Amino acid sequence: MRPRWRRGGDGNVHSASTRPPTRAATPPGYVKDVLSSLAARWQLISEPVPRYRDMPPVIDGVRILILAMVLITVPLADPHPGVGARGIAIAVALGISAVAWIAMMWAQNRPGLYVAALVVMAAAGGTLAGLSEFNTAIAVGCVVTSSAGVRLPTETSLAIAAETVAAFLVAGLITGETSSTLVGGPAAYLGLWAFGLTRRAYLLRAEQAEQALEQARRAHAAESQAAALAERARIAREIHDVLAHSLAAVSVNLQAAEGLLGALPDDRPELAKAIECIERAGAFTRDGLAEARRAILALREGPAPRSPRSLAGQLEALAQEYRADGDMAVDFRVTGEPSPVSAEAGLTAYRTAQEALTNARKHAPGQPVSLRLAFGPSGNGSDGSDGVDGSDGVDGVTVEIVSPLPPADDTEGPLARTGTGYGLTGLRERAALCRGTLTAGPVDGQWRVLLRLPAGAVHQ
């Protein structure tokens, strides 16, 4: 008969095999998990001592009160300190315990001195409790063991607790204390040491939770920053694909129109005027392309590069562009001592002037416009309103654009209804980002746009 195979813990084993069968295996990973849990718990309570935190003053008050009770009640117990050899030993142990107690409270944030004070206090406190009757002297050892359990690693605190118990037992055996006293004292010390370990584990877990929360906050901030960068990249793509391409196409068509008009006979003045308008439109388009490139660069890589011209130079060039159109008289003036401004503040001031001049061309074509740039104090204007010509204010930069309001019965210009209506809203948002303010509205029959940027947001 052919031998049969059997299944078991060893797999397929021949029935005639002399190999002893293996024992049933324990659940995989069970012992390892138990040991890992014990090791993790031991590591938690064995970590370096945390720094002394801002504890409530009542804790130190309670410790001082307990020390006072020990200093008052121990001399009243029998035997009295200083009477006989035992009394002298009690007086010495009481004095050393008091000094070590005060040193422990003073050295909360000095680990080396703190441990040394606990070691001295453990020996003196245990000896004091063993020499005296079972009274408040035991409080010294209780404070030592509980404080060591809370503040020190497990090995160090266990050594100090053992020192306290040993000192108590030696002194108690020499003085012939009862068995109940010899058992009760160590039980109290070890119980408070265990309580200190529990408190220590709680504090360490709370500290780890705070660290985890801080890491979570940092991770959330990093995610938010990554999302913001992704959104900026998306906006940069949209600007590049829509605005830049559109302006490029307009520029190409303007160049073609300029070439076609230039081939015609130049005996008509209207033709020269049309060519001049096309040239200015081409210049505006090229400037728009440059602005679009700077905006895309700022969104992609950070702050936009600084313009080589000063803020006053930029606003002067802007006023000249609008004067060149021939339909707007722009009066530009600078007051105060010009000083360099930050890139963000300069861009905010430039965009404000640009938007205000464009709105003046839309709603009051042909009317004169006043553009003022003031450096330094800004206060009440010459008309008594909040303008740029006063001296009672704070240092910074002020931009003011004033244009006449159109008559109530005046018909709207061809550009009055162009735009989205969010220009001033965007300017207010720009001003807020620079910690400034922007106001716009009618003042004494004129429309005024006033931008104020504080010195802290202006200077480099």
Question: For 127-137, what is each residue's pLDDT tens digit?
Answer: 888 888 757 88
453 and 312 fall within a common domain: yes
> Taking all residues of the chain, what is their mean pLDDT, rounded to a whole number?
76
Rounded to an integer, the average pLDDT of 163-178 is 88
Q: pLDDT-based confidence at 360, cuts 50/70/90?
A: confident
Check whether 346 has a pLDDT greater than 50: yes
User: Considering its fold, how many domains does the chain have in total?
Assistant: 2
The first and second tokens of residue 268, run together, are 């008509």
Beta carbons within 8 Å of 292's beta carbon, 6+ residues apart? 239, 240, 243, 244, 247
Rounded to an integer, the average pLDDT of 109-134 is 85
Q: Are 294 and 305 in contact (CB under 8 A)?
A: yes
Task: Quote the DSSP letter at residue 386.
Answer: B
Q: pLDDT-based confidence at 147, cuts 50/70/90?
A: confident
Half-sphere exposure of 32 (CA within 13 A, CB side): 4
Check whether 296 has a pLDDT greater than 50: yes
Bond into 79 cis (ω within 30): yes
Task: Look at residue 250 and tell me if it is in a domain.
Answer: no
Half-sphere exposure of 76 (CA within 13 A, CB side): 8
Q: Among 7-11, 184-188, 377-381, which range has the highest average pLDDT?
A: 184-188
Q: How far apart are CA 370 and CA 294, in angstroms?
A: 28
Rounded to an integer, the average pLDDT of 77-83 is 75
319 or 302: which leads in pLDDT: 319
Rounded to an integer, the average pLDDT of 69-84 is 79
* Res 407: pLDDT: 65
Rounded to an integer, the average pLDDT of 242-269 is 71
Q: How far apart are CA 41 and CA 49, in angstroms?
A: 15
* Res 402: pLDDT: 92
Q: Are 100 and 120 in contact (CB under 8 A)?
A: yes
- Which range among 70-84, 147-161, 336-350, 381-395 shows the weakest confidence by mean pLDDT? 381-395
Task: Look at residue 421 and tell me if it is in a domain.
Answer: yes
Rounded to an integer, the average pLDDT of 114-131 is 89
Task: Look at residue 219 and tell me if it is in a domain.
Answer: no
Q: pLDDT-based confidence at 56, cuts 50/70/90?
A: low
Closest of 360, 352, 280 to residue 328, by C-alpha: 360
Rounded to an integer, the average pLDDT of 174-183 is 84
Rounded to an integer, the average pLDDT of 375-404 is 63
Check whether 450 has a pLDDT greater than 90: yes
Q: Are 167 and 122 in contact (CB under 8 A)?
A: yes
Task: Look at residue 223 and tell me if it is in a domain.
Answer: no
- Which range among 156-160, 224-228, 379-383, 393-397 shows the weakest confidence by mean pLDDT? 379-383
Q: pLDDT-based confidence at 259, cuts 50/70/90?
A: confident
Half-sphere exposure of 194 (CA within 13 A, CB side): 6
Q: How many CB atoms lie within 10 A of CB 84?
A: 11
344 or 158: which leads in pLDDT: 158
- Whole-model pTM: value is 0.45
224 or 83: which leads in pLDDT: 224
Task: Look at residue 119 and tell me if it is in a domain.
Answer: yes
Task: Look at residue 431 and tell me if it is in a domain.
Answer: yes
Give the residue numbers spanning the domain of 400.
307-458
The SS3 assignment for 396 reads strand
Centroid of chain to Cα 326:
53
* Res 163: pLDDT: 92
Domain boundary among 127, 153, 177: 177
Rounded to an integer, the average pLDDT of 253-260 is 74
* Res 217: pLDDT: 92
Q: Among 101-110, 111-120, 362-371, 412-421, which range has the highest average pLDDT?
A: 111-120
The SS3 assignment for 79 reads coil
Domain boundary among 129, 157, 177: 177
Q: pLDDT-based confidence at 55, cuts 50/70/90?
A: low
Check whether 337 has a pLDDT greater than 90: no
Check whether 12 has a pLDDT greater than 60: no
Sign for the CA dihedral angle at 187, 188, 194, 197 comes to negative
Q: Are 311 and 349 in contact (CB under 8 A)?
A: yes
Per-residue burial over 235-268, b if 16 or more Cβ lie within 10 Å, else e, is ebeebbeebbeebeebbeebeeebeeeeeeeeee
Q: How many CB atoms lie within 10 A of CB 339?
A: 15
Task: Quote the DSSP letter at residue 243.
Answer: I
* Res 302: pLDDT: 57
* Res 343: pLDDT: 77
- Amino acid residing at 266: D
Q: Is 184 exposed, middle or buried (0-12, 13-18, 19+ CB in 10 A)?
A: middle
Task: Look at residue 137 and tell me if it is in a domain.
Answer: yes
Q: Are 171 and 129 in contact (CB under 8 A)?
A: yes
Token pair 């010195």: residue: 455
The SS3 assignment for 432 reads helix
* Res 134: pLDDT: 58
Q: Are 152 and 49 in contact (CB under 8 A)?
A: yes
Check whether 197 has a pLDDT greater than 80: yes
Domain boundary among 151, 177, 203: 177
Q: How far apart are CA 245 and CA 369, in angstroms?
A: 33
* Res 374: pLDDT: 92
First to last CA, the chain: 101
Task: Look at residue 337 and tell me if it is in a domain.
Answer: yes
62 or 5: which leads in pLDDT: 62
* Res 383: pLDDT: 44
